[in-house]
Structure 1
Amino acid sequence: MASYSTHKDDVLKRLRRVEGQVRGLQRMVEQDTYCIDILTQVSATTRALQAFALQLLDEHIACCVRDAMAEGGEEAAAKLKEANDAIARLVRS
């Protein structure tokens, strides 16, 4: 089961908000909005998506990784590597 399953509606609401921000960026370009104003909105959208990713990562570690570690074995090592790889991708972006 996914770590966000208990509050999937909240997760989807948050993603829809980000989707709305991206649609807003499209409108700004269509309307020839000043570049700096668009870049300001790109920054806000990026922060919102990063905050979402960090929340999802936190839940993954608190649920999926914790459960795998409790069981031990190869599954624990695999889940830990997945989490480390995800953190590395987030840090690089």
Structure 2
Amino acid sequence: MSTHHQEADVHGYAKDKEAIARRLRRIEGQVRGIARMVDEDTYCIDVLTQISAVTKALQTVGLTLVEDHVGHCVVQAAQSSPEEGEAKVAEATTAAARLLRV
């Protein structure tokens, strides 16, 4: 969890918050479905297919957050000062690198 904000900050994902929350609830249901599949001894390949679908769905949410962060937080920091902009670009790059690791 990041501590790089103040209580009154509006996060870059604010405009997409409801859609992101819906998507995460859907993913949560998919994960419960995978657990049920394991409990029911479902064929390995079918379980792996569902894991792949959840992974892709989470990556999509992550990319949405990266896009919103760059479009809002990075732009706002860059407008404030070159140093703040550079720091936010570095932060976003690190976050994207974590997201892309397999």
TM-score w.r.t. length of structure 1: 0.92
More helix by share: 1
Q: Percent identity?
A: 51
Number of residue pairs the alignment of both structures matches? 93
Return the alpha-carbon distance in structure 2 between the equivalents of residues 23 and 66 of structure 1: 38
Match of 1:77 in 2: 86
- CA-CA distance at 1:71 after TM superposition: 0.9
Moved over 2 A (4+): none
Return the alpha-carbon distance in structure 1 between the equivalents of residues 18 and 99 of structure 2: 24
Matches within 5 A, 1:1-93: 1-93=10-102
Return the alpha-carbon distance in structure 2 between the equivalents of residues 6 and 36 of structure 1: 37
- CA-CA distance at 1:78 after TM superposition: 1.7
In the alignment, structure 2 segments of 5+ residues that lack a partner are 1-9
